[in-house]
Amino acid sequence: MRIKVLGSAAGGGFPQWNCNGSNSRDVRRGLPGLQLRTQSSLAVSANGRDWLLLNASPDIRQQIANTPQLHPRIDGPARNSPIKAVVLTNGDIDHIAGLLSLRESEQFSLYAAQRVLSALEGNSVFNVLNPQFVTRHQFQLGAPFEPHCNGSALGLSIEAFAVPGKVALYLEDDSAGDNFGTEEGDTVGLKVIDSDSGRHFFYIPGCAGLDETLAGRLRGAGLLFFDGTLFTDDEMVVQGLSAKTGQRMGHMSMSGPDGTLAAFDELNIARKIFIHINNSNPVLRENSAARAEVTAAGWEVAFDGMEVTL
């Protein structure tokens, strides 16, 4: 199974179009130790020919252009694509907007929880995904399914499971209290399994905390891609970039006594990779103390174009 990191940044990418924070300023200046990043997404293939996308970021056209494995076959028909299916982990803009770039009557299958499918159905702009070509499928939490396209299986099995999180910003209901109307399944993680070998990994680009259920699921895992949005809960507030903390946005921070580094320390996960990294996060600087801290704790920081083989 091949895994390609198409995008490693959080919503807005790095640099974000209107961000004048120190990280964004310095990456625009070309300072060493900083890399441009597009918005979070993975591509997965069991056979190297047919590819499954995990989320469809607003940067998907650029990501496809940067990834030869996702280009049309040279010996194929005038229109063709190796992208056969898309699985969504939530309804966030940075995970669904790229669907609009996949609108050119190309056949693929779309999988999501019912709440996410309802959000797509409730916005007529997504009707550009012609149902004659793009079939939508609801997955059930805890029930593995095999993505397919036009009757052909992709050689992968996916299990979606609820993780602590928050409903997408544009779906928040302020009258619903502190959880803004969040329901189970608004944010999910994915277990992605190679059907032949049984090898698998976990993809959780958004998560507000590590509860006992999630810890039990991940304990002893071979590979995990996990939410790396912020290093400290209040970093966007301190940097003058936002009035919201990480917890308000539904993200677990890396550092601190309740942060990811501490919480995951005894779970014995063989390989741990942070993804969905916000432009404010100091780990984006390769020579920073924050990067040294996460590296010392056994974590890697994903980058666009990173490839992992299982």
Please name the residue that has the structure tokens 């694509």: 81
Q: CA distances (Å), 68 to each of 48, 49, 64, 179, in order?
A: 11, 11, 7, 41
Distance CA 250, CA 86 (A): 23
Whether 154 and 52 have beta carbons less than 8 Å apart is answered as yes
Whether pLDDT at 56 is above 90: yes
* Structure confidence at residue 176 (pLDDT): 53
Residue spans per domain, the chain: 2-309
Q: Do the Cβ atoms of 164 and 214 come closer than 8 Å?
A: yes
Report residue 74 as tokens: 């040279």
What size, in residues, is the chain?
A: 310
Q: Average pLDDT in the 136-140 region?
A: 97
List the Cα angle 132/43/188 in 5-degree steps.
85
pLDDT exceeds cutoff 80 at 109: yes
pLDDT in tens, 10-30: 999 999 999 999 999 999 999
Residue 54's H or E segment, with its range, is: strand 51-54
Record: fold of 2-309: Metallo-beta-lactamase; Chain A (3.60.15)
The mean pLDDT of the chain is: 93
Q: Is 178 helix (H, G, I), strand (E, B) or coil?
A: coil
Going by pLDDT thresholds of 50, 70 and 90, the confidence category of residue 164 is confident
Main-chain phi, psi angles of 51, to 5 degrees: -120, 145
